[in-house]
Structure 1
Amino acid sequence: MRYELPSLIAIAVLLATSAGAVAGCADESDEKDRARRNGTEAPPPPPGEADGEPSCDETYAGPSASRRLTRFEYDNTIRDLLGDTNAPTSDFPSEEVFYGFDNHATDRGVSLDLATQYMYAAEKIAAGVTISKIVPCDATKTDVAQCARQFITTFGKRAYRRPLEPAEIDSLLTTFDAGKAAGGFDSGVRYVIQRMLQSPSFLYRIETNTGGSTADAMIPLSGWELASRLSYFLWGTMPDDALFAAAESNALASKDKVAEQARRMLNDPRAHAVVKKFHRGWLSVDKVDTVVKSSTAYPEFSDAMIPLMKAETERFAEHVVFEGTGDLKGLFTAPYTFANDLLAPLYGVQGVTGSELRKVDLDPSQRAGIFTQLGLMSSMAKANQTSPILRGKFVRTQILCQSMPSAPAGVSLALPEPKDGQSTRERITELTKAQACTGCHTMLDPVGFGFEHYDAIGRWRTDDQGPIDATGEVFGTAIGKFDGAVELASKLAESPEAQTCVARQWFRFQAGRIESKADKCTLQQLDAGFKASGFKVQELLVALTQTDGFLYRAPSP
């Protein structure tokens, strides 16, 4: 039975406008309007800071936007709200990826297609609910209207992640009455669930607290808003009972209590899923899905290895963060991985049996953390040869947070075919020696050459038409020269540029946007916390919850 909401077009507009995220309303020629719509416009600068960079003498937060639940967050929230583990978003439209992450606040409006899927999902979820598990009273023994109100009040607080306003309760009671008239008490409950699951208050994380601030002051988040920021950042789902209790008692007004909750949450298995998701986005792990290799050049490669390579990187990151050294150095340099009987031979490791990935020690002179894993090396290579250009770009953009321009229009991205007597390094050097190419390729190629010991499926090699030359240099940084990926990884682990970049990647993941000048104070606080912890990843996440940008929001422009 379906609760008849307004037309789907009206739903789409309602969802988008309620969260201030209607795409297409701004004049695309107006840079300021577009920045506001995308959530990247800085708030008004404080006195004396007309260039938009705050002095950090006072609290200052960057812009924030209402965040629509991602597919990952929606599934998790439905699981924790109703116990439904059927992944209802499987038919939802795919999500755009910005800078590696699919949770970007840009263009989070609702299309007609998505609104339709929300309606179908809500109907299916509501139909499958066991009423006795979510209704806190027995309607056969108490007043039906009173029981319905009690259900709406308690369930609504969890679904909307905040207490409901009296007017909201009354409106939902009207919906309950319509369902009850159509099919009894249980039908009324299902009508309410359908409606709530299509509400902007469920689908978006909307922050409206004013905190009594003046027009130009930073606005502290309410306890309920902080509970949601914590839960969706560290768990990718709704708050649990402990967070709700902390919000209700106003305990989250204390930074120490926020940190205490963050550490508690990092000890929960749900944090593992988020850490794996972050690394999947940051390291572009899903690009492994597009890997195609020449069966002539690499007969050992099979499509069955693709999901294993993805799982390898995620499991490695999870292990380092929660079971290993827990620090950036471990991520960058640990000489082990997770492999099974298919992957282990590519590492030259014998004796590994079975399909389950397990921890495997590797040669520390050949392997270093995330950088030399099979999936990354395979995805940053061509079908029949390596690509120092792609590998160098990965280090520049993902590890050092540097922007690299796209190739000029009309320039072919194809690499010369391998030929006898000429190494990949020699072919790339010859290809990019023209003056028009050197500006970018001086930044890319000398970094990528450091990975030439790894072929296009990630195996170690010592020869490429002669002995491998894996020396390189990271121009424009303090990293300098290196010989091979292992030394490069070690230098990156100690590099302030890389340490800062990793902190920024986590900021982007949490905030759902790229940093701006207005985030200067937050980023300084984050960098200081990361450094003070000895570059421990879990402590970096706790430090992020202590920043101005996490605890406050800027007033609307």
Structure 2
Amino acid sequence: MPRLSPLQRSLLLPVLVALGCPQGGDVATDADPGATADASTGATAGTGAPTTGDTGPGPTSSGTDPTGDTGDTGDTGEPPGEPSGNALDQNLLFTCDDRPALPPADLRLLDRQEWTRSVGSWTGTNLANNPLYPRASHRYSTYSDGEALDPSVLSLYLDVVGGAGTAWAIGKWDAGRVRTVIEDPECQCFLNDAAPSPECVDYFVRRYLEYGAVYRPAGDEQAAALREFADTVLAGEADVAQRPATIKRIAAAAWMTTAALYRPELGAGEPDEHGRLRLGDWELAQAIAYALTRAPAGTPSVNRYYEAGYTKGDVDGDLGDFLDAAADGTIQDPEVVAALVRAHFGGLDEERRDLLFEDRDARWWENQGEYWMATGVRAFFREWLDYAGLADKPPKVETAKTSAWWEVGTTELSYQNTVSGIYGTENTLVTQLDDMIARIVAADQDVFAQLLTSRLFYTPANAGYQEGESSISNSTADSPRVYGVAGITAQTREARWKQLPENERAGVLTHPAWLGAHSLSFENDPNLVHRGKWIREELLCQNIPDLPLNVDAMLSEASREQSARQRISEQIDADPYCAGCHQMMNPLGYPFEIYNHAGFLRIEDHGAAPNGTSVLANMPAPELDGPVTSAIDMSVRFAGSKYAKRCFVRQAFRFFAGREETMHDGCTLVAMETAYDDSDGSFAELLIALFNSDSFQTRVPE
């Protein structure tokens, strides 16, 4: 694996000394004794972290070479120059031939969400503001290629790592305390004794390594290194009142190591006939746990409120069944993997304990739906459909214009509140779409088609927020109207679930959160182009060529009073130079013109009736060609398409495997599709097939 340059090491070393990290002293070792790559020895992040300092592009889903040769295959395991991702021919990709899966060995840098959950703190700190953002060039946050602590990221990381032990150091009665230490009787001597015994220090150091940092058995060498540092810090204490500061220094030292910041996927044992190593027990258990939950097995059990006892997991952390399967080796049994997935991927929970670690007031929990998804499953749908960033988009102007509800007062303000969620206790459009998807995932039947056709939406309540009932009525009274729902919706889950009319909505692509996330500020902006581009690239897995540098992609100001359909058809479709690329997007975007930029159903469009008709051409499968009347009609067509379903399978592979697919993954993709089809469309069975595949469980060492 690439290493820090001498310059980078020289920049980091003084910082490690300032933190009290031993110079060259490793605080963590590899996950499995049989691991063969030296990158797993647990060197400190300054001396052994895999990094290139390269901020250039990684694998992308775009490319204009007609052969599909992007020149940069990224983290694919393919020889240089071979195509990856959307450049591949999907029909050829779903073929199981003699090519073995060749996923590359790697050390995966934790992303910011994974890191925050791993350190165990959620409140009263700035730890969630850590700088471990995924690379912007990565399609999914789970991609690991090129992720590294380069000097710029490291400098920001140093601002937060000193607080990594906060949850282990706060008092028993404080919110956010970690049960892993507070409720472990053998830790009490270290927390309270002025001069803890050597055995007490040994226990606490190993306890922190295994249940607070590396989340796998700690080797003697790494435990000894952190123990030596702990002794040094303890010797400098004036009294036991300084113990919280000592714990934080020990935690910071542990979190400056490769073993804590990077999770190994290197493989162990002897290579097979293809030169591959199989992931060790702890590597595999953590790989699946992170994929499903974005957190490690053994992730700290944090209590949000002491008296109420809100928590997940026991004193040894959450996801204990993953820990057990790793410890006894049964994680290698496909049936055990299947049972773990079925237990953790989603379901029904009136209390919504999955939301315990969300950074929100408990009032929000009871107003979300009763169905839940594992955090990793939720992240997949949010990233694939790309709706989670709705609140970060430029504000929508005249949000209800062209709809039945257009007025400057309460409807406008209520819509903005459904985006931001600032006033009241109703959840946002984003979490409402989460709830809709979670119900589909919990049912786990014909999931892909249900995603595109379901008319059962989770909508906001507005009872109690009418004029005279609340001082913020203007910001909440009309919240359901973005869905076309009139009247009063009671503050119950049953009332919030609405079966919307079949001529108004069908599936996630007609949800206001998705429509708003894929649009600009004005209702007659070229929103249809953005929506059509997403369909082509993410629902059909095809490329759209990059915009030429000499093209000014702007509609004229003179056409500002026209509808978007008029503006696009006259200025883009009629221009032969532009039409070459736009014919791949615009026909897929026109059906969405029955909605405005904010997702309200139109009743008129600049003096004419709303028009969502289109003729789909240049489609990758014959069942997709032909006329459609609206986004509803188009969604139903996609729901019945084998080609579109296969693209969905590919998107799931990318996110949960953490890399682009290659032609060597054909057998895995076939297995995922077969598992899905044979189970009547179960998303859980699709994931089980992936997690039990060679594409997920083996690695090719460098």
TM-score of the superposed pair, with normalisation by structure 2: 0.69
Say if 2:517 is the partner of 1:397: no
Match of 1:265 in 2: 344
1:393-452: CA deviation from partner (whole Å, max 9, x where unpaired): 121112112111122222222234585996533432222222222222222111111112
Distance (Å, rounded) in 2 between the aligned partners of 1:321 and 1:200? 36
Match of 2:307 in 1: none
Q: Map 1:322-337 onto structure 2 (within 5 A).
A: 322=442, 327-337=447-457
Q: Map 1:454-465 onto structure 2 (within 5 A).
A: 454-464=595-605, 465=607
Match of 1:49 in 2: none
Match of 1:69 in 2: 110
Cα shift at 1:492: 0.8
1:126-156: CA deviation from partner (whole Å, max 9, x where unpaired): 2552465467354669982222223333432
Secondary structure of 1:62's aligned partner? coil
1:259-287: CA deviation from partner (whole Å, max 9, x where unpaired): 12221222585443333222221112144
Q: Map 1:349-364 onto structure 2 (within 5 A).
A: 349-353=485-489, 358-364=496-502
Cα shift at 1:120: 4.2
Match of 2:20 in 1: 4
Cα shift at 1:362: 0.9
2:695 to 530, 549, 552: 549
2:186 to 102, 126, 136: 136
Closer/same/farther in 2, CA of residues 314 and 55 from structure 1, 3 Å limit? closer
Match of 1:201 in 2: 259
The 8 Å contact of residues 335 and 361 in structure 1, kept in 2 or not, is answered as: yes
1:193-234: CA deviation from partner (whole Å, max 9, x where unpaired): 221122111111112333211584221111100111111011
Distance (Å, rounded) in 1 between the aligned partners of 2:652 and 2:489? 36
Closer/same/farther in 2, CA of residues 407 and 121 from structure 1, 3 Å limit? closer
Residue 305 of structure 1 aligns with an amino acid whose one-letter code is T
1:145 to 173, 188, 198: 198
The 8 Å contact of residues 59 and 218 in structure 1, kept in 2 or not, is answered as: no
Residue 74 of structure 1 aligns with an amino acid whose one-letter code is W
Distance (Å, rounded) in 1 between the aligned partners of 2:132 and 2:164? 18
CA RMSD of aligned residues (A): 3.7
Cα shift at 1:488: 0.9
Say if 2:178 is the partner of 1:42: no
Match of 1:411 in 2: 551
Which deviates more, 250-259 or 213-222?
213-222
Distance (Å, rounded) in 2 between the aligned partners of 1:244 and 1:419? 62
The 8 Å contact of residues 310 and 375 in structure 1, kept in 2 or not, is answered as: yes
2:579 to 425, 435, 438: 438
Match of 1:492 in 2: 638
Closer/same/farther in 2, CA of residues 418 and 361 from structure 1, 3 Å limit? farther
The 8 Å contact of residues 275 and 317 in structure 1, kept in 2 or not, is answered as: no
Match of 1:448 in 2: 589
The 8 Å contact of residues 445 and 681 in structure 2, kept in 1 or not, is answered as: no
Say if 2:625 is the partner of 1:480: yes
Secondary structure of 1:66's aligned partner? strand
Closer/same/farther in 2, CA of residues 69 and 93 from structure 1, 3 Å limit? closer
2:290 to 227, 232, 237: 232
Match of 2:673 in 1: 527
Q: Structure 1: where are the runs of 5+ without partners?
A: 46-51
Q: Map 1:77-116 onto structure 2 (within 5 A).
A: 77-79=118-120, 86=125, 88-92=127-131, 94-98=133-137, 100-116=139-155
Secondary structure of 2:580's aligned partner? helix
Secondary structure of 2:253's aligned partner? helix
Cα shift at 1:363: 0.8
Residue 585 of structure 2 aligns with an amino acid whose one-letter code is L
2:214 to 152, 156, 160: 160
The 8 Å contact of residues 320 and 331 in structure 1, kept in 2 or not, is answered as: yes
Match of 2:506 in 1: 368
2:412 to 283, 287, 301: 301
Distance (Å, rounded) in 2 between the aligned partners of 1:537 and 1:55? 21
The 8 Å contact of residues 316 and 337 in structure 1, kept in 2 or not, is answered as: yes
Distance (Å, rounded) in 1 between the aligned partners of 2:656 and 2:577? 38
Secondary structure of 1:535's aligned partner? coil
1:345 to 474, 481, 490: 481
2:682 to 515, 518, 536: 536
Closer/same/farther in 2, CA of residues 338 and 352 from structure 1, 3 Å limit? farther
Distance (Å, rounded) in 2 between the aligned partners of 1:415 and 1:507? 38
Equivalenced residue count is 541
The 8 Å contact of residues 75 and 88 in structure 1, kept in 2 or not, is answered as: yes
Closer/same/farther in 2, CA of residues 44 and 250 from structure 1, 3 Å limit? farther
Closer/same/farther in 2, CA of residues 468 and 3 from structure 1, 3 Å limit? closer
The 8 Å contact of residues 51 and 150 in structure 2, kept in 1 or not, is answered as: no
Secondary structure of 1:317's aligned partner? helix
Residue 276 of structure 2 aligns with an amino acid whose one-letter code is M
The 8 Å contact of residues 337 and 362 in structure 1, kept in 2 or not, is answered as: yes
Residue 474 of structure 1 aligns with an amino acid whose one-letter code is L
Closer/same/farther in 2, CA of residues 295 and 196 from structure 1, 3 Å limit? same
Distance (Å, rounded) in 2 between the aligned partners of 1:40 and 1:480? 32
Residue 322 of structure 2 aligns with an amino acid whose one-letter code is L
Which deviates more, 52-61 or 239-248?
52-61
Secondary structure of 2:614's aligned partner? strand
Match of 1:48 in 2: none
The 8 Å contact of residues 219 and 554 in structure 1, kept in 2 or not, is answered as: yes
Distance (Å, rounded) in 2 between the aligned partners of 1:424 and 1:35? 37
Match of 1:379 in 2: 517
Distance (Å, rounded) in 1 between the aligned partners of 2:639 and 2:44? 47
Residue 208 of structure 1 aligns with an amino acid whose one-letter code is L
Secondary structure of 1:337's aligned partner? strand
1:310 to 423, 430, 450: 430
Closer/same/farther in 2, CA of residues 319 and 43 from structure 1, 3 Å limit? same
The 8 Å contact of residues 61 and 553 in structure 1, kept in 2 or not, is answered as: yes
The 8 Å contact of residues 149 and 173 in structure 1, kept in 2 or not, is answered as: yes
The 8 Å contact of residues 433 and 513 in structure 2, kept in 1 or not, is answered as: yes
Question: Percent identity of the aligned residues?
Answer: 23
Closer/same/farther in 2, CA of residues 309 and 16 from structure 1, 3 Å limit? farther
Secondary structure of 2:488's aligned partner? coil
Distance (Å, rounded) in 2 between the aligned partners of 1:99 and 1:155? 32
TM-score of the superposed pair, with normalisation by structure 1: 0.86
Closer/same/farther in 2, CA of residues 407 and 190 from structure 1, 3 Å limit? closer
The 8 Å contact of residues 60 and 554 in structure 1, kept in 2 or not, is answered as: no
Greater percentage in helix: 1
The 8 Å contact of residues 179 and 190 in structure 1, kept in 2 or not, is answered as: no
Distance (Å, rounded) in 1 between the aligned partners of 2:588 and 2:519? 14
1:343-377: CA deviation from partner (whole Å, max 9, x where unpaired): 32122211234789832221112201111111222
Match of 2:223 in 1: 169
Residue 246 of structure 1 aligns with an amino acid whose one-letter code is A
Match of 2:279 in 1: 221
The 8 Å contact of residues 63 and 518 in structure 1, kept in 2 or not, is answered as: no
Q: Structure 2: where are the runs of 5+ without partners?
A: 1-17, 28-42, 59-68, 82-91, 170-180, 298-318, 348-352, 355-372, 402-407, 421-427, 463-477
